Amino acid sequence: MPLLEVDNLEIAIAMRGQLLPVVRGISFSVDEGETLGIVGESGCGKSLTSLAIMGLLDGTPVRITGGDIRFEGQDLRQLNRRERRAIMGSRMAMIFQEPMTSLNPVYRIGDQIVENLRQHQKISQKAARARAIELLELVRIPEPQQRVDSYPHQMSGGQRQRVMIAMALSCDPKLLIADEPTTALDVTVQKEVLDLMADLQERMGTAIVLISHDLGVIAETCDKVAVMYRGKIAEAAPTDDLFARLAHPYTRGLLNSIPVVDRDVEWLEAIPGRVPGIDEDIEGCAFHPRCPRAQDICRRNEPKQHRIGNEHTSHCHFAEEAAP
């Protein structure tokens, strides 16, 4: 049984009395200790998917309109608030894109870790503090004994993100959802944080869902990849298979728009156009207005799932032909 299983999830935004679909039936699963990367442009629905899994859509105009989210076999959508709270932070945790605002500015970071620990475990104040220092050390914060009493504003963005990771890992979660954890950080710090996550995953066996728009980050850290476009999974495969054989023009476009150091290129090839607005209707394949290989069939029919390899799937009419 997979640790996390998302089955045909549909999410819509309520606007002017209408429900506009944003995530249009996506399915994926994550096994224990595995890293899944979800990649896509802004607005493709990847963040909403993570928020839906964590149950953070309450009180927003966004709602889940269909599908199941199962965690350790339990349907998260059926749980009441109390049952959900018992899972959140202990067996399932999340880190956010903005390390600058994801820590409460009025509390010392140590107190925030302690609070999270004591919320889920019967542990004394003193022991929790000792554990907080241990965790800070684990995420490589220098001088954890002193830094435990720092306020968030006294730390850099990279340090804060590491504190967030420490907090998320404080109760040994089975699953960590990381929504663009390195986007707000500069490249060197980004590398440190990714290495740290990979290292901690190896040690603690945590499964990670890594959401990113950076295919490079995904390639480096993930066991398998799901490429999302306009609320659907365009292509999904184990990382090695995906890069061995790109079976969707969108994935190819994403890859081509990354600069390569050892090749001299005058112009980077960008994907033309933009992600269509959620209120636009597109007949046929959602990617066809931007696709270099679009044919008549793409404008008429929505592509079905094509199986290329064992676990490699693509939603493109020409998936089989799109050889490397």
- Contact pick of 35, 49, 116, 221 for other proteins (by CB under 8 A): 116
What is the distance of C-alpha 147 from the center of its chain? 29
Q: At closest approach, how far in Å is the CB of 191 from other proteins?
A: 23
Q: Closest distance between other proteins and the C-beta of residue 249, in Å? A: 35
- Exposed/middle/buried for 52, CB within 10 Å: 0-12, 13-18, 19+? buried
Q: Please state, in angstroms and as integers, the Cα–Cα distance from residue 41 to each residue in 2, 184, 211, 254, following that order.
A: 27, 16, 11, 9
Q: Give the DSSP letter of residue 214.
A: -
Which of 179, 176, 161 shows the shortest CA–CA distance to 49?
Answer: 179
Closest of 209, 210, 198, 207 to residue 172, by C-alpha: 207
Q: Is 192 exposed, middle or buried (0-12, 13-18, 19+ CB in 10 A)?
A: middle
- The single residue among 16, 17, 18, 106 that binds other proteins, judged by CB under 8 A, is 106
Q: Which is nearer to other proteins, 97 or 239 (CB)?
A: 97
| Contact yes or no for 99/161 (Cβ under 8 A) | yes
Contact status: 103 vs other proteins (CB under 8 A):
yes
Please report, as residue ranges, which positions from 33 to 92 form the binding site for other proteins (by CB under 8 A). Answer: 54-56, 59, 81, 84-90
To other proteins, the closest distance from the beta carbon of 58 in angstroms equals 8
Q: 29, 119, 183, 256: which one contacts other proteins (CB under 8 A)?
A: 119
Given 3-state DSSP classes, what are the helix, strand and coil percentages for the chain, each rounded to the nearest 5?
35, 25, 40
Least Å distance, CB 112 to other proteins, is 9
Site for other proteins (CB under 8 A): which residue of 22, 52, 69, 164? 164
Task: Name the DSSP letter for residue 171.
Answer: T
> Smaller CB distance to other proteins: residue 120 or 306?
120
Q: Give the up-direction half-sphere exposure of residue 18: CA atoms within 13 A in the CB hemisphere.
A: 6
For the bound state, the minimum distance from the C-beta of residue 84 to other proteins, rounded and expressed in Å, comes to 8
**Between 170 and 251, whose beta carbon lies closer to other proteins?**
170
Residue 76 vs 87, nearer CB to other proteins: 87
Q: Are 242 and 235 in contact (CB under 8 A)?
A: yes
Nearest residue (CB) to other proteins, 168 versus 200: 168
Rounded to 5°, the CA angle 124-56-48 comes to: 135
Are the beta carbons of 254 and 233 closer than 8 angstroms?
no
225 to 264, contacts with other proteins by CB under 8 A? Answer: none
Q: Closer to other proteins by CB, 56 or 130: give it.
A: 56
Least distance (Å) from other proteins to the CB of residue 5? Answer: 20
CB of 104 to other proteins, least distance (A): 4
Residue ranges binding other proteins (CB under 8 A): 54-56, 59, 81, 84-90, 93-94, 96-98, 101-107, 115-116, 119-120, 151, 153-154, 164, 167-168
